[in-house]
Homo-oligomer: A and B are copies of this chain.
Amino acid sequence: MMPTDRNIELTISDGHASAAPRAAKKILDVAYDLFYRRGIRAIGVDEIVRRAGVTKPSLYRSFPSKDELAASYLRQYDLDFWKRFDEAVDAHPGDPRAQIKAFLTRVGKRTQLPDYRGCGMTNAAVEYPERGHPARVVSEANKHELRRRLRAMALAMGATDADMLGDGLLLLIEGAYISGQLFGLGGPAQSVATNADLLIEASLKK
């Protein structure tokens, strides 16, 4: 769940590769944890710097604003998300149905953890409905890419209507993220992989 060291420079300043200040990493690590677990709006910058053991000026030297810090958190989340996704994909080369099943089995397991808090991307989009908000922009980009990949995988499976199946899988995934944090242990999210496989079976060309 924590950002990895080698990605910090990319995440903090959106691409330029100068050495990242030391304090910035601690700030982003703490912000990542707090934003994810308790929500972005619920956390003030004072709490972040306090728990990171730094001061506010250090935060504002590395991040232009709290909104941009939130966007940086989500860019890190994006990297972590695709790492998990690609692990499932790479485990079953050439078999998109097995890839989906592997990914969703893992999602289903994660939703059953005691303090599961859903998808950081999804949550951020709920917290910031205004179009163009820095955090929302990152979130929307992640979801559009996920949709594109799911539709491509549905096509590779030979679905009767690939876009329909891809979107159906996306709905199940988002539903798992949300109901995972709403119901906790024993909730509907545990059945996401099975339901997805049922939907896939029903969507293949006969």
Interface size on A, residues (CB 8 A): 49
Q: When the two chains form their complex, are residues B170 and A175 in contact, meaning their CB atoms are under 8 A apart?
A: yes
Q: Which of A33-41, A65-73, A75-83, A84-92 contacts B (4 or more CB under 8 A)?
A: A33-41
> Once bound together, how far apart are the Cα atoms of A176 and B203, in whole Å?
19
Which residues from chain B contact A199 at a C-beta distance below 8 Å? 168, 195, 198-199, 202
Q: Which of A15-23, A24-32, A183-191 contacts B (4 or more CB under 8 A)?
A: A183-191
Q: When the two chains form their complex, are residues B125 and A182 in contact, meaning their CB atoms are under 8 A apart?
A: yes
Copies in the complex: 2
Which residues from chain B contact A178 at a C-beta distance below 8 Å? 122, 125-126, 174-175, 177-178
> Once bound together, how far apart are the Cα atoms of A27 and B195, in whole Å?
43
3 closest cross-chain pairs (CB), A and B: A171-B175, A167-B188, A168-B195
